[in-house]
Structure 1
Amino acid sequence: MKSSVVVSLFASGAAAQVGPWGQCGGINWTGGTTCVSGYHCVYQNDWYSQCLPGADSTTLKTSTTSTKPTSTSTAPATTTSAAAKGKLKWLGINQSCAEFGQGTYPGTWGKDFTFPSTSSIQTHINDGYNIFRVAFAMERLVPNSLTGSPDAGYLKNLTDTVNFITNAGAYAILDPHNFGRYYGNIITDTTAFGAFWTTVAKQFASNSRVIFDTNNEYHDMDQTLVLNLNQAAINAIRGAGATSQYIFAEGNSYTGAWTWNTTNTNLAALSDPQNKLVYEMHQYLDSDGSGTSATCVSSDIGVQRIVGATSWLRANGKIGILGEYAGGANSVCQTAVTGLLDHLQANSDVWAGALWWAGGPWWGNYIFSFEPPSGTAYTYYNSLLKQYTP
């Protein structure tokens, strides 16, 4: 999830213009088609165009095909029929709390951060969810420098959480929730980044149900650097003896599915000797895709924002997962989330699963909280999501 809202309010004279990262075109789109200064409208797929950084543009690129559906109720076609759809390999919940207190390091357990509730995780497992992404802070796990040793206390608490999940038969994703940064600075030293992953992977090399997520939501970084950091992590993890586990690689631009096929195309070059690499994307359904609003753009925005990524995965022979997604507790978002999950399931040859953002004991009345028993999203969406569990 993005750490801040990227869209701004504009004067009434620019009301017809779309803000940064907003939708600016697509089949049946009725909103603005020009972007504010410094952004231009970029075609992503027939159903979605987006305001991306760059020179201003008043020209909207439309579909590359000569014909388009006209019905407002028609979803984009998939290559796999609904009747032939398969089950997803994974469906689960993010566990977000051990990374809280960003900027306060090491911080105090119980004041600045905490760890997930094992009783809540067990409730999810009982409901059929089989994968949990456990966020943590790199600065707490390996303090002082990327090449340093792990903090024994933080490592123990993280390991206890992971072992609870995996001993119950589910998968645990290790998620360094750092946005490609360490103590606020962009990580540019791929050797040091590899050393960090060697340290971490050695701790979990014998647990086949652990999954290594290279880093959460790289953004505003050199694209080749993102490629090289991912490859350094893969090499280090495998070199540390962790050869049976999956590795999830994330992309630039907050690893957004809606921009993946225009932003992260070079990541197709990533190589894993164990052939267990999965591309992790995130997708929210509000106007700027930041996941900060309970209002979804439309009832079919879930499908619109991931069809381009589906095509990229299939064209490149890759497997993907939605590591984060969510929608507000309302009927429009519910329809959009249903469409998104239907699309993933109908294209399960390239999509392995999805994880809701987010569970955790400190979320309170957060709009997307999936913490049992009374989280806003848990009470609204649990019965729906359970229909898609493996």
Structure 2
Amino acid sequence: MSEASRNINLSNSPLMGVNLSGCEFAADGVLCPSASTVNIYADKGFRAIRLPFRGAQASNPAIVSKIKAVVDAAVKRGVYVILDRHDYGATFDPNEAAWWASFIKNFPNTTYVMIDTMNEPRKGASYQADPKTGKSYATEVNAGIAAFRKAGFKHKLLIEWRGSSGMVRFDKREAASKACESPACSFDRAGGLKDPLGLTMVSGHRYPDSDGSGTSPVCVSNTTGTKLIWNTDLAAKARGLKVWVGEFAFGNSTKVNPVCDALGKDAIKRMRSLPDTYVGVSWWGGGNGWKESYLYKIEPKKGTFAAAAPSAYLTTLVGR
């Protein structure tokens, strides 16, 4: 059993949150969300925000100021913020830890500010340990966490994995005689996910189309919402880890297909039935940078969100 998540205890778990996209779309930060956007989402009932941005934007004081405005507005409302480095790099190596240790000085609040170390990582060590060096995905992640903690930072951390952080890929139940092909196996063979402060959780993504990519409005019809996500929660619970669902969507403000609606509601039911495992979820498709036709757009027509009555989809997303 890992002790990495032992001290994560957010109120009212699982929290219902939202991804506020925008910063990651434009290098100059023109599409970053504002404090007023945060307040609208808080008014609608969302209790957490995942804020995607590009690492290069951290060197632009004007963009950092925009991100700080979002964080300050959220904290004022008692809304948690996940700072998400949306660069598809390595999950969390010592170099990434040094980058975060510098950037996070702008956001000292350790109660409400959390760190998603890397969105949908595509780089990094193999899940299977190198026979010569012993290095693996797990040892790389654990070294990154140790470096970050050594720097004195106490923020909660969210750890993702290759394969678009797919929840179906977290645990492949590899036999002891087989090479590791999943993060769960990699952690097991490295002695577990390790955080001396016990403030680290795993964060997976799930979309209900046939390949889980989130590119089709057609949801799979031969399964349940529970089965869409339980690969990760069963594996996490067995290891004493907690889970944040970083991205999930199953409709938009104008319509929700009945098959998709059933899957989404069943997944929420599953998360609510396991409050000691699921810390929260940040639904995909928030922020004002999306075209009106986007299949997972949470907001109604631009300029109408604040005054609009909650759509049936939004009501489901906030757990009502």
Q: TM-score scaled by structure 1?
A: 0.66
Structure 1 position 206, deviation (Å) = 3.8
The size of the alignment, in residue pairs, is: 278
CA–CA separation in structure 2 for the residues paired with 1:199 and 1:355: 25
1:124 matched to 2:41: yes
Query: Do the aligned partners of 2:92 and 2:117 also contact (CA within 8 Å) in 1?
Result: no
Structure 1 position 311, deviation (Å) = 1.3
Partner of 2:286: 359
Partner of 1:273: 196
Partner of 2:117: 214
Partner of 1:158: 67
Q: Which moved more, 1:309-318 or 1:224-233?
A: 224-233
1:238 partner amino acid: R
CA–CA separation in structure 1 for the residues paired with 2:121 and 2:164: 5
Q: Any gaps of 5 or more consecutive residues in structure 1?
A: 1-85, 102-106, 142-149, 181-186
CA–CA separation in structure 1 for the residues paired with 2:319 and 2:92: 44
Q: CA RMSD in A?
A: 2.4
1:349 matched to 2:276: yes
Query: Do the aligned partners of 1:299 and 1:336 also contact (CA within 8 Å) in 2?
Result: no
Structure 1 position 216, deviation (Å) = 0.4
Structure 1 position 128, deviation (Å) = 2.2
Question: Which runs of structure 1 show a deviation greater than 6 angstroms over 4 or more consecutive aligned residues?
Answer: none
Query: Do the aligned partners of 2:21 and 2:287 also contact (CA within 8 Å) in 1?
Result: yes
CA–CA separation in structure 2 for the residues paired with 1:220 and 1:89: 30
CA–CA separation in structure 2 for the residues paired with 1:362 and 1:204: 24
Residue 264 to residue 162, structure 1, CA distance change in 2 (3 Å): same
Structure 1 position 179, deviation (Å) = 1.2
1:97 matched to 2:42: no
CA–CA separation in structure 1 for the residues paired with 2:219 and 2:91: 36
Partner of 2:5: none
State percent identity of aligned pairs: 27
Query: Do the aligned partners of 1:204 and 1:242 also contact (CA within 8 Å) in 2?
Result: no
Q: Any gaps of 5 or more consecutive residues in structure 2?
A: 1-10, 128-134, 173-181
Any idea what the Cα deviations from partners look like across 1:2-59, whole Å, max 9, x if unmatched?
Answer: xxxxxxxxxxxxxxxxxxxxxxxxxxxxxxxxxxxxxxxxxxxxxxxxxxxxxxxxxx
1:177 matched to 2:86: yes
Structure 1 position 90, deviation (Å) = 1.4
1:284 matched to 2:204: no
Report which of the two structures shows the higher radius of gyration computed on alpha carbons: 1
Query: Do the aligned partners of 2:35 and 2:69 also contact (CA within 8 Å) in 1?
Result: no
CA–CA separation in structure 2 for the residues paired with 1:109 and 1:219: 24
- Which residues of 2 match residues 164-313 of structure 1 at below 5 A? 164-180=73-89, 187=90, 190-219=93-122, 221=124, 222-223=126-127, 226-243=137-154, 245-262=155-172, 263-265=182-184, 266-267=186-187, 269-298=192-221, 300-313=223-236
SS at match of 1:305: helix
Greater relative contact order: 1 or 2 (C-alpha under 8 angstroms, separation 6 or more)?
A: 2
Any idea what the Cα deviations from partners look like across 1:195-225, whole Å, max 9, x if unmatched?
Answer: 2011122222344210011110113653365
Partner of 2:314: 382
Structure 1 position 319, deviation (Å) = 0.6
1:235 partner amino acid: A
SS at match of 2:65: helix
CA–CA separation in structure 2 for the residues paired with 1:188 and 1:109: 24
Q: TM-score scaled by structure 2?
A: 0.79
Query: Do the aligned partners of 1:249 and 1:277 also contact (CA within 8 Å) in 2?
Result: yes
CA–CA separation in structure 1 for the residues paired with 2:116 and 2:91: 18
SS at match of 1:261: coil
Partner of 1:23: none
Q: Which moved more, 1:357-366 or 1:264-273?
A: 264-273
CA–CA separation in structure 2 for the residues paired with 1:349 and 1:188: 24
Query: Do the aligned partners of 1:98 and 1:137 also contact (CA within 8 Å) in 2?
Result: yes
Query: Do the aligned partners of 1:174 and 1:211 also contact (CA within 8 Å) in 2?
Result: yes
CA–CA separation in structure 1 for the residues paired with 2:54 and 2:71: 15
Partner of 1:9: none
